[in-house]
Structure 1
Amino acid sequence: MTSPASPADLSAWGAPRQPRGAALLTDPLLNKGTAFTERERDALGLRGLLPPRVFTLEEQAQRSLASVGRKPDALEKYIYLANLQNRNEILFYRLVMDNIEEMVPLIYTPTVGQACLEYGAIYRRPRGLFLTLRDRGRIAEVLHHWPLQGVRLIVVTDGERILGLGDLGALGMGIPVGKLSLYTACAGVHPSYTLPITLDVGSDNQELLDGPVYIGLRQKRARGAEYDAFIEEFVTAVRTVFPKALLQWEDFGNTNAFRLLGRYRKQLPSFNDDIQGTAAVALAGVMATLRVTGGTLAQQRLLFLGAGEAGTGIADLYVAAAMSEGLSETEARARCWFVDSKGLVVKARDGELADHKRPYAHEHPFIATLGEAVRTLKPTALIGVSGMPQTFTQPIVEQMAGLNQRPVVFALSNPTSKAECTAEQAYAWSDGRAIFASGSPFPEVSFKGRRHVPGQGNNIYIFPGVGLGALASESREVTDAMFLAAARTLAAMVDPADLELGRVYPALTKIRDVSLRIAAAVAAEAHDLGLAQAARPDDLVADIRARMFEPVYREYA
């Protein structure tokens, strides 16, 4: 992977020529707004189209930060930032990267959840591609409509399971847009390489379909052979039109997520962030807790609330890690227990269980409730991936605290409104002893005079680095071993100061370095496994760092 050397190097982006005048001001990859110099204004036909004062990028960023601060709520801030991204990407990424802790919750979780719910009402300007059932037979043609032909990274959703909000159909476009923004801000993937795609196959959310501002197909969701044929044509078209692209599956329903990953992961480099990214970030958090609780990974007993793609993905990666510590596969799986909507996943329920749950259906009497499962199974860690808010109740957290000196409580469901408990609840109900992490950010908590900074077990720590490493090595496949390498790398970057605060992930301000180190680990795996198509450099870290996009203006003339 190489980034274009300069914003003026349009040939690297597949553009036929450099725009001038008003057309230049409408191109977000090239527009510098009031930062165009006097010489550029004359050379590019901009004289008179801009106010006379020339601003620096830093001055523009300060002004934009002040504008964000004046917005009355998070959704209005999201709308402002989306508009900024659509007119000047360099400025947008400078603002985000310089204020990462403030901006990430606005451009992604938790605000992106509300933005998706409102996507039809706040839609202003097209970003990404909507591929619909009406495009069957010509999906490749539609992909060619994308103006930048050097696409290397695609995030795609069909909108069926957006965060914990359910089926939002075409409104789910906010997720691919947001994820790709994080790829650039957190891992330095050049924005010209990225393409958000929504596959509109309908929606089973009737209230949505009946709404006056719904922007998608107003029909029930396609399933079965019709759906599969559409996906097959899409994957084939991506391989043809963008042969070097990495594909990230995002927010597909459980019915399709596992089988699409299994079917296509060897046909083109691809992964499912909800399954594999969530697994890696959660496992990294568990690994980091061991430096506080003691013991080994193989000695842990994990109890999951929720047995969908996120939960079983975490368990699968835990099994791989525990086997590397000497457990057999059977022994490792026996350390993972699940409670789903009907109760404990056990052998007696085998006939009713989905395929991804069956490996974790153990011989054990059925237990109907999470509280009873905690009392009986005595887990060392309680992991919530249910999308069911406030299900880690005070009695349950108190039970965990009674069983463990430092109970591990991960409430990972997104957005914040879906978290199984809040950070404040976890600390209060455990007498300040809980090691807490969540999927969306919670503010720090002061309890009995001690400062607690909850860790955010967000996939932002994993997927940008994994994608960057796969692109840099030009890996033919994204393997589970790469996600295990990413988890180990992330856990190792948690320092003693983080642990002292109760945080089992590095500060978000370190995210570029986290992504760089994970990218190097992933690229090393690709080379070691013989999957890399790029030559192996002498220094992977230095090579990847040199490729990472930095949002700075360059001279046009």
Structure 2
Amino acid sequence: MTDAMNILNNPFKNKGTAFTMEERRRYGLIGALPSRVKTIDQQANDMYKLYQSKMSRIEKRHFLMEIFNTNRTLFFYIMQHHITEMMPIVYDPVIAESIEKYNERYLRPQNAAYLSVQHPENIQESLLNVSGDRDIRLIVVTDSQGILGIGDWGVDGVDIAVGKLMVYTAAAGINPEQVLPVVIDAGTNNHHLLEDPNYLGEQHPRISGQPYFDFIDHFIITVEKVYPKALLHFEDFGRGTAAQILDKYQNRLLTFNDDIQGTGIIALAGVLGALNISREKLRDQTFLTFGAGTAGMGIVRILFEELVREGLTPEEAKQHFYLVDKQGLLFDDTPSLTAKQKPFTRQRDEFPNSDRLTNLGAVVHAVQPTVMIGTSTQPGAFTEPIVREMTANTTRPIIFPLSNPTELAEAKASDLLKWTNGKALIATGIPVADIQLDQTTFHIGQANNALIYPGVGLGAIAAGAKVINNQMLVAAAHALVGLVDPDQPGAAVLPPVKNITQFSERVAVAVAQSAIDQGLASVDNAEKAVADTKWEAQY
């Protein structure tokens, strides 16, 4: 292939029709492009019109991926100018449909590395074959076992890593040439994929136990060796592995688990935003978490640690939490508790009718929560009787149905407002349009991890941080509080996604400053470090 074709086929270097005549002569592109030279604005306008002509959301996503695969700068220029509209298209919720059709629609690997658990000897070669001489600073890795809402999708879940990195760049300005999506192919327990002749991954049940964890250790060692300055972001690992991996490695290298830490931070920020509106204190709340898996326990842990920071003893703080899972209220004698659940279970002698607390309604009646957070993927679980029961015992109930996609949400925001006469302070896991009720326009905050993790990543990378610890994560959560006017009627508990680029920078500075204050950074000026690290989508 000629040098000209190499440039035009390299999405990090290609400008398409925006190459000037001088550049065309310099790079040997004369005759390789139409004569017209366009600006990036003109290109973006043309592409956006074509994007609007696509009839379905999945068609829109496929069109955007064509741009992504050929011209990264143009893709991110377009996305940054239409970020509220396009983020649900390139990531959640449309990405679920993309993953489910991955085998049939596969055309390009999108600069992702595919690692087989059966071949740990190939890890370094595989990573370097994909990254080449690029200076990798951010890796998103998934094994696709626990993709929220759709479960285990094996190697097809690579789109999760690709999409997550898109949001990092669009929201926070992480240089797209310095990122690497990775999928760990450990097999799959998805029977549909095991029987699908078109499936592109290892077609056997998931490898688990020691062989799996040995592979993860080998992978970590290789990342430390090959990409010593990179942030390693774990995404959508299973309930039985995610926390175990985070606990083992979080103090060893710069790493982050969005499902545990990201979900926890955004929930904390949402609760603090709600309390800003209600003028209540965190220590006066009773928390009920419906769904005590990876995400739910990440939320409980960070809320617990915030209570301790506010002066409560660990024992006092634990008394504020009630975990509800498929068994009902979790007690210390409930079978099959996870290591993350055990510290927050209740004792049966607290309740004279403990054997009846097997469903959400019964638990709400018994514990009278002021904050109810759903990560259960149980659609419609927050019913009208449950919500009215909660509202009878608190002036401004804080209710976060966070499960997504839409069809898995515990409740609709419009119903929650109606059932509480507009008193509920709501955050959802999906985007919700403004709601009109009794002459008040209610703005619904989206507890989207994308509000937080891009800034966390940018701040940690810019600071040259050694680790990401809870102090840095809490700084990120507090950076979001105060961006919404709490006195505005119908105010949201979180800032709108449309402002994500601005508050991602604010979060990044807060994280970098926390790293500096703790002596964990290699820089001494947070604002300058963040500004110097940000990449702009310009030719």
> If the TM-score is normalised by the length of the shorter chain, which range does it land in?
over 0.9
1:419 corresponding residue in structure 2: 409
- Answer yes or no: is 1:371 the counterpart of 2:361: yes
Superposition RMSD in Å = 1.6
Task: Give CA deviations for 1:376-432 in whole Å, capped at 9, x if unaligned.
Answer: 111111100112211111211222222223221101112222211122222222222
Is the contact between residue 257 and residue 309 of structure 1 (CA under 8 Å) also seen in structure 2? yes
From 182, 186, 205, give the equivalent of 1:220.
205
Q: Give distance in 2, aligned partners of 1:527 and 1:190.
A: 22
Q: Give distance in 1, aligned partners of 2:90 and 2:513.
A: 31
From 74, 86, 93, give the equivalent of 1:91.
74
1:361 corresponding residue in structure 2: 345
Q: AA paired with 1:150?
A: D
Query: SS state of the match for residue 483, structure 1?
Result: helix
Q: AA paired with 1:385?
A: T
1:544 corresponding residue in structure 2: 530
Is the contact between residue 384 and residue 412 of structure 1 (CA under 8 Å) also seen in structure 2? yes
Q: Give distance in 1, aligned partners of 2:427 and 2:211.
A: 40
**TM-score normalised by structure 1 residue count:** 0.93
Task: Name stretches of at least 5 consecutive residues in structure 1 with no aligned partner.
Answer: 1-17
Is the contact between residue 160 and residue 252 of structure 1 (CA under 8 Å) also seen in structure 2? yes
1:387 corresponding residue in structure 2: 377
Q: Give distance in 1, aligned partners of 2:65 and 2:485.
A: 34
Q: Give distance in 2, aligned partners of 1:535 and 1:22.
A: 40
Q: Give distance in 2, aligned partners of 1:369 and 1:256.
A: 27
Q: Give distance in 2, aligned partners of 1:177 and 1:515.
A: 19
From 228, 236, 247, give the equivalent of 1:251.
236
Aligned length: 531
1:10 corresponding residue in structure 2: none
- Answer yes or no: is 1:35 the counterpart of 2:18: yes
Q: Please report how far the alpha carbon of residue 212 of structure 1 lies from its aligned counterpart in structure 2 after TM superposition.
A: 3.4
1:23 corresponding residue in structure 2: 6
Of 170-179 and 389-398, deviating more is 389-398
Q: Give distance in 1, aligned partners of 2:11 and 2:248.
A: 36
Task: Give CA deviations for 1:269-292 in whole Å, capped at 9, x if unaligned.
Answer: 101110001000000000011122
Q: AA paired with 1:57?
A: I
Task: Give CA deviations for 1:457-479 in whole Å, capped at 9, x if unaligned.
Answer: 00011111111111111111110
1:268 corresponding residue in structure 2: 253
Is the contact between residue 139 and residue 237 of structure 1 (CA under 8 Å) also seen in structure 2? yes
Q: AA paired with 1:360?
A: F
- Answer yes or no: is 1:145 the counterpart of 2:135: no
Query: SS state of the match for residue 145, structure 1?
Result: helix
Task: Name stretches of at least 5 consecutive residues in structure 2 with no aligned partner.
Answer: none
Is the contact between residue 134 and residue 177 of structure 2 (CA under 8 Å) also seen in structure 1? no
Task: Give CA deviations for 1:87-112 in whole Å, capped at 9, x if unaligned.
Answer: 01111101111111101111111111
- Answer yes or no: is 1:518 the counterpart of 2:504: no
Q: Please report how far the alpha carbon of residue 19 of structure 1 lies from its aligned counterpart in structure 2 after TM superposition.
A: 7.8
1:348 corresponding residue in structure 2: 333
From 20, 37, 42, give the equivalent of 1:54.
37
Q: AA paired with 2:211?
A: E
1:210 corresponding residue in structure 2: 195
Q: AA paired with 2:199?
A: Y
**TM-score normalised by structure 2 residue count:** 0.96
Is the contact between residue 148 and residue 192 of structure 1 (CA under 8 Å) also seen in structure 2? no
Q: Give distance in 2, aligned partners of 1:141 and 1:542.
A: 36
1:535 corresponding residue in structure 2: 523
Q: AA paired with 2:234?
A: W
Q: Please report how far the alpha carbon of residue 451 of structure 1 lies from its aligned counterpart in structure 2 after TM superposition.
A: 1.8
Q: AA paired with 1:55?
A: K
Q: AA paired with 1:358?
A: K
From 446, 454, 460, give the equivalent of 1:464.
454
Q: AA paired with 1:356?
A: K
Relative to structure 1, is the Cα distance of residues 68 and 544 closer, same or farther in structure 2, using a 3 angstrom cutoff? same
Q: AA paired with 1:115?
A: S
Q: AA paired with 1:515?
A: S
Q: Give distance in 2, aligned partners of 1:427 and 1:95.
A: 35
1:4 corresponding residue in structure 2: none
Task: Give CA deviations for 1:164-220 in whole Å, capped at 9, x if unaligned.
Answer: 211111111111111111111111110111000000000001112212332211010
Q: Give distance in 2, aligned partners of 1:132 and 1:74.
A: 32
Q: Give distance in 2, aligned partners of 1:181 and 1:88.
A: 13
- Answer yes or no: is 1:439 the counterpart of 2:424: no
From 97, 104, 109, give the equivalent of 1:126.
109
Q: Give distance in 2, aligned partners of 1:42 and 1:352.
A: 68
Is the contact between residue 187 and residue 203 of structure 2 (CA under 8 Å) also seen in structure 1? yes
Q: AA paired with 2:523?
A: A
Q: Please report how far the alpha carbon of residue 263 of structure 1 lies from its aligned counterpart in structure 2 after TM superposition.
A: 0.8
Q: For 1:268-417, list aligned pairs within 5 A.
A: 268-349=253-334, 351-363=335-347, 364-365=350-351, 366=354, 367-417=357-407
Is the contact between residue 58 and residue 94 of structure 2 (CA under 8 Å) also seen in structure 1? yes
Is the contact between residue 25 and residue 31 of structure 1 (CA under 8 Å) also seen in structure 2? yes
Query: SS state of the match for residue 427, structure 2?
Result: strand
Is the contact between residue 149 and residue 242 of structure 1 (CA under 8 Å) also seen in structure 2? no
From 180, 187, 199, give the equivalent of 2:184.
199
Q: Give distance in 1, aligned partners of 2:179 and 2:2.
A: 21
Q: Sequence identity, in percent?
A: 38
Is the contact between residue 247 and residue 271 of structure 1 (CA under 8 Å) also seen in structure 2? yes
Give every structure 1 segment of 4 or more consecutive aligned residues whose post-TM-superposition deviation is greater than 4 Å: none
Query: SS state of the match for residue 199, structure 1?
Result: strand
1:11 corresponding residue in structure 2: none
Is the contact between residue 114 and residue 126 of structure 2 (CA under 8 Å) also seen in structure 1? no
Task: Give CA deviations for 1:502-529 in whole Å, capped at 9, x if unaligned.
Answer: 3111122221221111111111221222
1:14 corresponding residue in structure 2: none
Is the contact between residue 254 and residue 308 of structure 1 (CA under 8 Å) also seen in structure 2? yes
From 490, 508, 533, give the equivalent of 1:501.
490
Query: SS state of the match for residue 139, structure 1?
Result: helix
Q: Give distance in 1, aligned partners of 2:78 and 2:134.
A: 27
Relative to structure 1, is the Cα distance of residues 352 and 201 closer, same or farther in structure 2, using a 3 angstrom cutoff? closer
Q: AA paired with 1:535?
A: V
- Answer yes or no: is 1:170 the counterpart of 2:149: no
Query: SS state of the match for residue 184, structure 2?
Result: strand
Is the contact between residue 79 and residue 122 of structure 1 (CA under 8 Å) also seen in structure 2? no
Query: SS state of the match for residue 50, structure 1?
Result: coil
